Chain A
Amino acid sequence: MSLPELSEALSSFATVFLGIFVEAAAFLMLGALASGLIEVFLRPNDMARLVPRHPILAAGIGGLLGLVFPVCECGVVPLARRLVRKGMPMSAAVAFLLAAPVFNPIVIASTLAAFGLTPVFFGRVALSLGIAVTTGAVFAASKDPLALLRIQEPALRPTGASLAAAFILEAPTETALAKAGRVLRVAVDEFFDMGRFLVLGAFLAGLMQAFIPSTVVLAIGGGPVTSVLVMILLAVLLSVCSTVDAFIALAFAGSFTTGSLLAFLVFGPMVDIKSTLMYAGVFKRKAVAYLILLPLLMTILAAVFINLNTTW
């Protein structure tokens, strides 16, 4: 590569990188703000009251709760743990854990912004909800759901009287200004925590677009099965926040199959490097394996089926 060519490629890289970052950062900031509001104003027992006790029904409701609580895959793990310990059925919590990173207003809006009313948009929403609720229903079979959690302090059992005080997040004397400050403080920390993965993802996407000829990418992205596996691997490795991953996926639209884009957008928010680490901190090993393998198998099956049987 000659010097002028390298200069052109670097310029293209910077434009693509900043294009992804600028647009996705705006969405991420809004998501971080929502997360701050939840942290400061929500008490988990407010949510637990909304969920039916029947495990299968609970899984269905749990899958929809993201509409009310727009959290990405990082915010959802601690929240789901709090909810289980407050008495929410495990099936609902697992469905919420897996669906909320996609089935929430912010991610629906960002996916719509990136892909419009296309099969990718509808497929992402429907598959995420379906896989999350199905996995939640499988967890309903557990006889002692709390045994799936890694830490089992007696004080954190649902009936623990001390728990109510432990989860009240608002200090009663806190002024409105202090609360606003706390919302923004949580939000800025969340933005920095998630933003680094966005920067990494945008950086890799920019490098790929600027330096790898599309013919090479097309050779990998065209296979109905290989494209799905490659995009799943990419989703896990990039660990991009679900708030913004639609913009990353858009960079691959046109080169990769529709099924593989859906696999990236459905599996990525459920399982990636950072969420696996968080799962391992909350659930026992066997439960973590179920949380990874069930969505993985269902995603691969759905994505390959779409590639082989539709013209999307």
Chain B
Amino acid sequence: MNLRLYRWLQLGLMVSLGAYFAARLLSGTIYYYINERFAALIAAGAVVAFGLAYGAWAGRRDPDVADLDPDLPPGLDPAETRARRSRLWRAGMMSVPLVLGLGLPARPLGAGAIETRGLNANAPLSASGDAQRLEIAPEQRSILDWVRAVNYADDPDAVRGLPADVIGFVYHDQQLGADRFMVARFMVTCCAADAAAVAAAVIWPDSVDLVDNTWVRVRGTIDITEYAGRPLPLIDAVSVEPTSEPEHPYMYP
């Protein structure tokens, strides 16, 4: 690939990358990938991407390797061949994120990711930096709060019988009975790479009718069961209603 074409490709890819960042931020789908506290970083990244696009444009008339040694015919100069291959490899690799980002529908991690990652029954209390979260009113507690409560409260048994009202997506775990499912959320500290799933088991007779990844609101009373040797919240549900996906599908510990 000659330098001029490479510069135009750099320009196109950087403009596309800046636009991709901006579009994800404006649509809110950036939160499928990162913790909300990094939104400003992505906005800065979008601005810098447009700046780098200008850099590619400014370099469109740079002399090519071939121009430096015009005596060698095209195809016979090893330096030129290396440079051309290297540009092709760089431009090809840098187009991969855009191909995947624009070619596949944006989706948050869901039940399929739990299959390979497993559940994190040991939700980090320290990551919140706030032990007071265990004091939140029962109806306002998230799945993460309940997982913390049954693992770290001074008297976990005291949560039995408290009212629960949580939102999460449906995940069917084969270790549970046919009348049960998991209502789950992912917590993300930095980006989707560190996502860890937390869940509560739900007793619901029509469990088999619920499709994985459907977002539901579960109301009922809390009990405690055991999962992989750790205490797990168990909700004896009185209602399970479909609901829309939250603006932030992940929780931030």
Contacts and interface: CB of A to CB of B under 8 A. Distances in A.
Interface of A: 5, 7-12, 14-23, 25-27, 29-30, 32-33, 36, 113-114, 116, 181-189, 191-193, 195-196, 199-200, 202-203, 205-206, 209-215, 247-248, 250-251, 253-254
A22 B116 contact: no
Contact of A192 (B94, B108, B127): B94
Nearest to A177: B58
A271 to B, nearest CB: 22
Nearest to B120: A254
Nearest to A33: B48
Chain B CB count within 10 A is highest, among A14, A17, A22, A193, for A22
Interface of B: 10, 14, 17, 21, 24, 30, 32-34, 38, 41-42, 44-45, 48-49, 51-56, 58-59, 62, 89-91, 93-94, 96-97, 100-101, 104, 107-113, 115-118, 120, 127, 189-196
A185 B44 contact: no
A188 B59 contact: yes
B42 A15 contact: no
Contact of B194 (A183, A212, A251): A251
A249 to B, nearest CB: 9
Given A181-B54, A250-B190, A23 B34 contact: yes
B89 A19 contact: no
Chain B CB count within 10 A is highest, among A17, A36, A191, for A191
Nearest to A215: B118
A192 B10 contact: yes
Nearest to B58: A181
A42 to B, nearest CB: 18
Contacts of A20: 191-193
A25 B41 CA distance: 10
Contacts, number: 181
7 contacts: A15-B113, A16-B193, A30-B45, A192-B90, A196-B93, A250-B190, A254-B120
A182 B56 CA distance: 10
A184 B51 CA distance: 7
Given A26-B42, A33-B48, A191-B52, A18 B116 contact: no
Contact of B97 (A32, A185, A199): A199
A32 B190 CA distance: 22
The dominant DSSP class at the B interface is helix
Nearest to B21: A22
Contacts of B58: 181-182, 184-185
A185 B112 contact: no
Contacts of A22: 21, 24, 30, 33-34, 42, 45, 97, 191
B212 to A, nearest CB: 8
Contacts of B90: 192-193, 195-196
A193 B54 CA distance: 17
A200 B201 CA distance: 38
Contacts of A205: 193
A25 B190 contact: no
A20 B33 CA distance: 8
A5 B193 contact: no
A191 B50 CA distance: 13
Contact of B116 (A14, A19, A184, A209): A209
Contacts of B194: 114, 250-251, 253-254
Contacts of A30: 44-45, 48
A32 B41 CA distance: 15
B112 A12 contact: yes
A29 B118 contact: no
Contacts of B41: 23, 26-27, 113
Nearest to B127: A116
B107 A11 contact: yes
Given A16-B192, A214-B116, A215-B118, A185 B89 contact: no
A14 B51 CA distance: 27
Given A182-B58, A247-B193, A9 B42 contact: no
Contact of A19 (B10, B33, B48): B33
Contact of B48 (A29, A192, A253): A29
A29 B52 contact: yes
Chain A CB count within 10 A is highest, among B49, B53, B117, for B117
A291 to B, nearest CB: 24
A12 to B, nearest CB: 4
Nearest to A186: B55
Contacts of A116: 127, 189
A181 B59 CA distance: 8
A205 B100 CA distance: 15
